[in-house]
């Protein structure tokens, strides 16, 4: 991994937030351990029902909202989802539908940004 200046990081974060580019590669081990069967089901539910709020997603999956929220926070920390505040509700969005694992560098990166529909 390379070091970046504060200004470079800020520019990258803004470009990612605007959907203009994917985030920089992340360490693979922690991201891959986060991809359990349960979190993959969660990601699938977000992909198939993109306008669902966290509470709606928890209800759809039959899970406690606190557990779904915790899982989403973890996935957001790994750069796999983005949590968008919509008034008092929070709506999860997929950052990408695919990731690329580099076994030599031991990094994971989103393949392509997922554009908002609408």
| Position 118 confidence tier, pLDDT thresholds 50, 70, 90 | very low
**Which contiguous run of DSSP H or E holds residue 94?**
strand 89-94
**pLDDT tens digits, 13-62:** 777 667 676 667 788 888 888 899 999 999 999 999 887 899 999 999 99
Domains defined along the chain, listed by start? 27-110 (1.10.10.10)
Residue 1 has pLDDT above 90, yes or no: no
Distance (Å, rounded) from C-alpha 116 to C-alpha 118? 6
Distance (Å, rounded) from C-alpha 38 to C-alpha 51? 20
| Position 2 confidence tier, pLDDT thresholds 50, 70, 90 | low
pTM > 0.85: yes or no: no
Residue 97 has pLDDT above 50, yes or no: yes
């Amino acid at each position: 991994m390379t070091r970046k200046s504060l200004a470079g990081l800020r520019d990258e974060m803004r470009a990612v937030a605007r959907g203009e580019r994917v985030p920089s590669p992340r360490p693979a081990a922690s991201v891959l351990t986060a991809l359990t069967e349960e979190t993959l089901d969660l990601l699938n539910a977000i992909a198939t029902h993109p306008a669902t709020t966290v509470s709606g997603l928890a209800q759809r999956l039959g899970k406690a909202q606190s557990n779904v929220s915790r899982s989403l926070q973890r996935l957001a920390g790994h750069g796999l989802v983005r949590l968008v505040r919509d008034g008092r509700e929070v709506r999860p969005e997929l950052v990408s539908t695919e990731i690329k694992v580099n076994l030599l560098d031991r990094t994971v990166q989103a393949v392509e940004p997922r554009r908002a529909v609408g």
